[in-house]
Amino acid sequence: MKTKRFSVSLEENLLTALDRFVAERKFPNRSQAIRSLVTESLVQESWDQDKLVAGALVLVYDHHKRDLSKKLTHVQHDFHHLILATQHIHLSHHACLETISLKGNATELRQLADGILAIKGITHGKLVMTEPG
């Protein structure tokens, strides 16, 4: 893809904040940071407009919680058309990490994530979405 150059004017305090952002996130330059921020904003717009997105739902849970595995499987079967793959990792005797790769409309991915994150025994979880390319 061809890169186009353009000029941006910013107030001094906003430029200082941008430079701090570049340094904290270890971007190689301001252009890369701005590119990342613009992409993030456009992806957020895709979510808001219920467009096709790709995503990952990352979960940490105690697999010893009663019926948790059964409930987790049940919700996943209800949304089977969104699920591309799952990965299950044992973190300890009790804790498991599961990553569920997804593709579908943003609203459906959120519904799936909400259904899973509401299951008793899920200790932490997060849905991350992006444009599918």
Could you give the number of structural domains in the chain? 2
pLDDT at res. 55: 94
pTM score above 0.75: no
pLDDT at res. 110: 92
pLDDT at res. 96: 95
Domain range for 120 is 52-130
pLDDT at res. 6: 87
CATH code, 120: 3.30.70.1150
> Is 64 strand, coil or helix?
coil
Structure tokens at 64: 């010893």
* Helix pair angle (106-117, 30-48), 10° resolution: 80
- Same domain flag for 64 and 92: yes
Position 74 in a domain: yes
Predicted confidence pLDDT, tens digits, the chain (133 residues): 788 888 888 899 999 999 999 999 999 999 999 988 888 888 777 777 788 999 999 999 998 888 998 999 999 999 999 999 999 999 999 999 999 999 999 999 999 999 999 999 999 999 999 888 7
> Is 20 strand, coil or helix?
helix
- Same domain flag for 32 and 64: no
pLDDT at res. 133: 73
Task: Put the strands of the sheet holding 95-105 in their side by side order.
Answer: 83-90, 95-105, 52-62, 122-130
- Same domain flag for 78 and 111: yes
pLDDT at res. 112: 96
pLDDT at res. 83: 97
- Same domain flag for 42 and 71: no
- Same domain flag for 33 and 57: no
Are 73 and 129 within 8 A, CB to CB?
A: no
Query: Which is nearest to 133 in space by CA: 80, 55, 56?
Result: 55
Phi, psi (deg, nearest 5) at residue 131:
-70, 140
